[in-house]
């Protein structure tokens, strides 16, 4: 039987990290004389990305993207072990592993990824973790997803990318695989929308059932 494969985004999906990301961005931008409300930053980060916000800051201040990004990384990196898991993330990863699903990560998070996954005890669930350090084009480019599918011989019809943003769903679509949007509010459009991560078990069961028929 072909194995079902789940490729996870991290921030906002498995990691409840916006409570660290937003204040870290606020502190960083304030150092460059930019004032941004937390609510505005959260909306911009979830609609685009941290890098997009930093790029805008670089354009406004005339400072380099690298300078601002390095400062943000230093600020947020000191808080990485404060990041908690999303509700029922651990139980979901355990349940899916017990079901025999292959699990991977593709995230824009960089050098702090290993530390936070190890701290939470999540690293053992993943066959491979692809971070921004690998140098793949950023989402919604599908290159990183296509790399994982080719390397592990994954079936496109049974491989799902799970994330919390439209950007993640665009990435899945560009890779030709189903996207699973984690949206506790229930709002959003995707191949699958789940309010609770444990609902992903039903998606895996359904994929297995279709193969048997």
Q: What is the pLDDT along the chain (213 residues), one digit of tens a residue?
A: 468 999 999 999 999 999 999 999 999 999 999 988 999 999 999 888 899 999 999 999 999 999 999 999 999 989 999 999 999 999 999 999 999 999 999 999 999 999 999 999 999 999 999 999 999 999 999 999 999 999 999 999 999 999 999 999 999 999 999 999 999 999 999 999 999 999 999 999 998 776 544
Contacts of residue 209, defined as CB under 8 A and 6 or more positions apart, other chains included, come to none
- Domain 5-16+84-212 CATH (choose: 3.40.50.150, 3.40.50.1000, 3.40.50.970, 3.40.50.300): 3.40.50.1000
Q: Where are the beta strands (DSSP E) in the chain?
A: 5-8, 102-106, 128-130, 159-163, 179-182, 192-194
pLDDT of residue 201: 97
> How far is it, in rounded angstroms, from Cα 83 to Cα 79?
7
Q: How many angstroms separate the Cα of 36 from the Cα of each of 17, 40, 148, 201?
A: 18, 7, 37, 39
Tell me where in the chain the CATH 1.10.150 domain(s) lie: 18-82
Residue 213, pLDDT score? 43
Q: CATH 3.40.50.1000 region(s) of the chain?
A: 5-16+84-212
Structure tokens, 105: 């990560």
Q: Is the CATH number 2.60.120 carried by domain 18-82? A: no
Residues 127/149, Cβ–Cβ less than 8 Å: no
Tell me which residue has tokens 């030709």: 176
Residue 47: what pLDDT?
87
- pTM, two decimals, is 0.92
The length of the chain is 213
Percent helix, strand and coil across the chain, each to the nearest 5: 55, 15, 35
Distance from C-alpha of 128 to C-alpha of 104, rounded to nearest angstrom = 5
What is the C-alpha separation between 74 and 163, in angstroms, rounded?
Answer: 25
């Amino acid at each position: 039987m072909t194995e079902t494969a789940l490729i996870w985004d991290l921030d906002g999906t498995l990691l409840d990290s916006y409570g660290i990301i937003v204040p870290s961005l606020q502190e960083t931008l304030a150092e460059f004389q930019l004032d941004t409300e937390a609510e505005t930053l959260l909306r911009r980060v979830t609609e685009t990305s941290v890098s997009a916000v930093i790029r805008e800051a670089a354009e406004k201040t005339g400072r380099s993207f690298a300078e601002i990004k390095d400062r943000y990384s230093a600020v947020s990196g000191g808080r990485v072990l404060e990041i908690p898991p999303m509700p029922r993330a651990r139980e979901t990863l355990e349940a899916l592993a017990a079901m025999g699903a292959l699990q991977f990560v593709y995230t824009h998070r960089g050098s702090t990824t290993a530390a936070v996954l190890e701290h939470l005890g999540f690293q053992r669930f993943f066959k491979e973790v692809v971070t921004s350090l690998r140098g793949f084009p950023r989402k919604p480019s599908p290159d990183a997803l296509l790399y994982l599918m080719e390397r592990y011989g994954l079936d496109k019809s049974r491989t799902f990318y799970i994330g919390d943003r439209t950007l993640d769903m665009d990435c899945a679509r560009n890779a030709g695989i189903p996207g699973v949007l984690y949206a506790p509010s229930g709002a959003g459009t995707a191949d699958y929308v789940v309010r609770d991560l444990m609902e992903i078990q039903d998606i895996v069961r359904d994929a297995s059932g279709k193969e048997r028929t």
